[in-house]
Amino acid sequence: MTITVLNALLKPLLEPHLPDWVDVRWYASKDEAFALAPLAEIGWFDMHSKADMAHVFGLATRLKWLNSVYAGVESFPLDLLEARGVMLTNGAGINAVPIAEYIVMLMLAQCKGYRDVVRAQDRHEWLKDSPGKRELSGAKALILGYGAIGQEVEKRLAGFGMEVSKVRRSTGPGTLGPDEWRGRLGEFDWIIISVPATPATEGMIGAAELAAMQVDAVLVNVARGSVIDQPALTAALSEGRIGGALLDVTTPEPLPAGDPLWGLENTQITMHLSGRAQERMFERSALRFLENLGRYGRGERLEPQVDFALGY
């Protein structure tokens, strides 16, 4: 029997489908997770506190496979897991569809000035003209980070008649190489960031990249706040050197109430809600876990498996 430690909230989704070689121990609190962690060969420990996460991983010395619903793994002790030979599967792609829908919603709201429409309704005011007249059709978008989210975004934007380019290592139509995109930033109306948070992507959009963008370009970030130099972005937005920013993520989170980003009319801040704007996250995660559980039992490769060297 393989001892598997899982959150009790997942029990209704998982228990009816577990194979008979799995001995499940359910935890309903972090203290129960701490007590059970030393027994686990397979574990799914997602906690809100980084300190609690570090503690549970320190206790789980028998762990061979760790699963997570989170796509970003910057809070995980990757060096420790690699040293112990633990396989880590994450939630990459689980939220791709709702996040892609959220991106399109934000872009349309920006184009049509929809925040001003809502404000007018709140004032019971009948507008005589549209506060936004921009169109997606015919515009050019650059996607930085062509994983599951980037691919879903491309599908949707292509449907609006947009010209979409993406950055990836392999070449092909509409593709820019990792050393090429900075020199082409001035060509795009929209720059959409969905890269993983790693040391290599930290601060990838700084003052120089912002200066290279069109004066009416809009930056969309659903990755992590750390991929953008936020003071440089705030300055560019407040001085009107770029057209706007649609930020689902910031540094830090929550963004302090006094941060100047809140007051900028060309900026939308959506409190890291894009992946939460759905009802199927845990259903999708449970299905993926069960598929991987079958692979684990057959000795096959688990997917998606985090590459510790790359950090995603």
Per residue in 14-47, pLDDT tens?
999 999 999 999 999 999 999 999 999 999 999 9
- Give the pLDDT confidence score for residue 172 in this predicted structure: 81
| pLDDT value of position 121 | 98
- In terms of C-beta distances under 8 Å and separation of at least 24 residues, what long-range contacts does 263-268 make, across chains too? 264/234, 264/237, 264/238, 266/237, 266/240, 267/237, 268/106, 268/109, 268/110, 268/115, 268/244
pLDDT of the residue at 168 = 87
| Rounded-to-integer distance, Cα 54 and Cα 189, Å | 42
CB 163 within 8 Å of CB 114: no
What's the mean pLDDT when you consider all of the chain? 96
Could you tell me which residues are beta bridge partners of residue 298? Answer: none
Residue 190 has pLDDT above 80, yes or no: yes
Q: What is 26-46 written as a DSSP string?
A: EESSHHHHHHHGGG-SEEE--
- Geometric angle at alpha carbon 158, from 152 and 162, rounded to 5°: 125
Q: What is the pLDDT of residue 272?
A: 97
- pLDDT confidence of residue 170: 78
Question: Do residues 92 and 304 touch, judged by C-beta distance below 8 A?
Answer: yes
Contact 188, 205 (CB under 8 A): no
Please state, in angstroms and rounded to a whole number, the distance separating the CA atoms of residues 246 and 219.
6
Residue 171 confidence (pLDDT) above 80: no
Instruction: Record the pTM.
Output: 0.90
Kindly tell me if the per-residue pLDDT of 228 is higher than 80: yes
Tell me the pLDDT band of 174, cut-offs 50, 70 and 90: confident
Residue type, 18: L
Query: Domains in the chain, ordered, with CATH?
Result: 2-94+279-298 (3.40.50.720), 96-276 (3.40.50.720)
In which band, very low, low, confident or very high, does the pLDDT at 88 lie, cut at 50, 70 and 90?
very high
Give me the residue label for tokens 């490769």: 301
| CA distance from start to end of the chain | 30
193 SS3 class:
strand
Quote the DSSP letter at residue 286.
H
pLDDT tens per residue, range 99-125: 999 999 999 999 999 999 999 999 999
pLDDT in tens, 238-283: 999 999 999 999 999 999 999 999 999 999 999 999 999 999 999 9
Closest residue by Cα to residue 4 from 107, 21, 299, 16: 21
